[in-house]
Structure 1
């Protein structure tokens, strides 16, 4: 059974800042069944009340505020209070840390440091890639080197757009990582850094193939930036995913 389409709230961050309740209602009315939270410590109790009233679920939440934080426990407690069991480290490190041998070791140390805090809150800890982690170090992706150095319990949130922009064979990655991939970030566009994203199915990425390669992962729509009406693009992206599932 596949998951319902979800959306990363970073996509509609400006609208959320203006009117959180109205924004969430628009997303629910489009048919989104779940959200991924990018700022879980911003009134988690109030956010959970809103999403429950709308019949939404929280599929995962980003734990960026935990990175480098000497007291990360409250971040993970806030995530757990939202009703999800997946907490994601969204990069949060300089490019050189994500594309060099020494940098990857520093990230691995940080992920391993955070893991017991996440587990104490009843959460699984995952990692979100950008393009830098698909740099090759001694013939091996930096992301692979990271996985070699972290606890086997760490899952992956694979950002398919950034993986493609980094030069990776995304289908090969998804096939090799298998059920360690719990969340897919789905974006479309030209597949390179810089240009705005477009609605799913309207760019150059093989989104349908990515979804088929990870059938049990959450399918999370995300736009880093959009040059058209964001809600129209988000609605078209939802409809595209719904057609894939039909």
Structure 2
């Protein structure tokens, strides 16, 4: 099996990217990255494609809301366009897979809610295919609060979705959700198309639980890959079909490009990516 391709989720450098798109991409290329995972691309696909081409980078995956009318994040809400608008923008950029990055915690609390999320995702598979794309889902920790017959809401969702739906597992958030991360990677098997390579100290309890205090990205204790509690090396070794190993920080611990370079070095020097 071929090693995964290294990538970087652009949310990591959202402020820098918004201030200087071309300069930010040039810095990523200088680090040695050749791929990115786009964020907030739907409103500016032509501009983003031109900047990627100029930097010699590609965006095979990207994050955009597909399953909700308004995307909630710890740092504010983002309005959501129609899926066809998302897919058209993704195709312009040259993506292969559009990944929904977040579905609100309350929708994961009941089996009916989880079934609805899966049904919505399944209806998008063929629509995306019409644009030459596939669709996927990226977790946080809210998907691990509820369980049904001993199975987490997240794994129930996976079981209910079309096998063509890509799963992108955020390894840090899986740990924050109380999961045995390596075992989860093994159970996902060939459904796991991508991972978010993110390290740090997991919160004491799931921050998305109903009784959890409010939090924001800035409250997270995140570290360079290999310097926290997340079993990154073991998870990457256990992954059987991962195509993309995507570096991400929700809360970069230092200067963002230094942080990105450190995590890329972990992947490259450890022999985990190509």
Task: Give the Cα–Cα distance (whole angstroms) in 1 for the partners of residues 3 and 163 of structure 2.
Answer: 24
Partner of 2:139: 129
1:207-226 equivalent positions in 2, closer than 5 A:
207-214=232-239, 216-226=242-252
Partner of 2:179: 168
1:17-166 equivalent positions in 2, closer than 5 A:
17-64=18-65, 67-68=68-69, 71-91=82-102, 93-135=103-145, 136-166=147-177
Structure 1 alignment gaps of length 5 or more: none
Task: Give the Cα–Cα distance (whole angstroms) in 2 for the partners of residues 137 and 66 of structure 1.
Answer: 21
In angstroms, what is the RMSD of aligned CA positions?
A: 1.8
C-alpha deviations, 1:158-193, integer Å up to 9, x for none? 111111110111111111111211111011001225
1:179 corresponds, among 190, 196, 204, to 190
Deviation at 1:131, TM superposition (A): 0.8
Task: Give the Cα–Cα distance (whole angstroms) in 2 for the partners of residues 205 and 152 of structure 1.
Answer: 27
Task: Give the Cα–Cα distance (whole angstroms) in 2 for the partners of residues 15 and 55 of structure 1.
Answer: 19
Partner of 2:222: 197
Count of aligned positions: 245
CA contact (8 A) 2:5 2:243 kept: no
**Structure 1 segments of 4+ aligned residues over 3 angstroms from their partners:** 65-71
Partner of 1:243: 269
TM-score, length basis structure 2: 0.83
Task: Give the Cα–Cα distance (whole angstroms) in 1 for the partners of residues 110 and 183 of structure 2.
Answer: 22
Deviation at 1:116, TM superposition (A): 2.7
Deviation at 1:232, TM superposition (A): 1.2
Task: Give the Cα–Cα distance (whole angstroms) in 2 for the partners of residues 205 and 63 of structure 1.
Answer: 26
Pair 1:70–1:53, CA change in 2 (3 A):
closer
* Bigger helix share: 1
